[in-house]
Amino acid sequence: MSFTPLDIPDVLLVQPKVFGDDRGFFFESFNQAQFDTALGRTVTFVQDNHSRSGKNVLRGLHYQIKQPQGKLVRVVEGEVFDVCVDIRRSSPTFGRWVGEVLSATNKHQLWVPPGFAHGFLVLSESAQFLYKTTDFYSPENERTIIWNDRQLDIRWPIEGEPILSSKDAIASSFQDAELFP
């Protein structure tokens, strides 16, 4: 398994070593010791989530203002464009975003640290998205930043409008969002 820091070094691209032959493939999708070594600290996951979405569905940009969640995200069916936004005011990369294509084919994963807003856009006909979290879901602490915020200027690979939940459609601007210190 390899761990590559992205343009925001706290966000890691995780690439498993895939063993394949005419029978199929095998890969280790998570290894606690390797993950802790890559992060330089121990991370404990407390919840696993699984979602399925259709083409052009955009989920996010979500975060929890209390009980912030680190997430290890991956796609087991289809393809998504996954985005992480640094919303830690004290960070040198505050307000910057990174995006990666995650798919069942490339088997890449992203480590989204606590203190980041996260979202994804489904590029394929459908996608199944799995992720581990470092803290439990807390609806009263969940916040959302609008997907097309002009200040963030995320370059989503979509023509037209995405399919949004009602919550995501009325999300805050980055400027008005409740963020981390």
**114-129: string of b/e by CB count within 10 Å (b at 16+)?**
bbbbbbbbbbbeebbb
Structure tokens at 138: 């807390």
Q: Are 103 and 79 in contact (CB under 8 A)?
A: yes
DSSP 80-95: EEEEEEE-BTTSTTTT
- Report phi then psi at 154, rounded to 5: -70, 130
Please return the burial class of 104, using the count of CB atoms within 10 Å of its CB with bins 0-12, 13-18 and 19+. Answer: middle
Structure tokens at 47: 């919840």
Looking at 63, 108, 118, 131, which residue is catalytic?
Answer: 131
Structure tokens at 37: 């070594």
Active site residue 50: no
Looking at 50, 62, 63, 118, which residue is catalytic?
Answer: 62
Active site residue 63: no
**Element holding 65 (H helix, E strand):** none
Q: Which residues are catalytic?
A: 62, 131
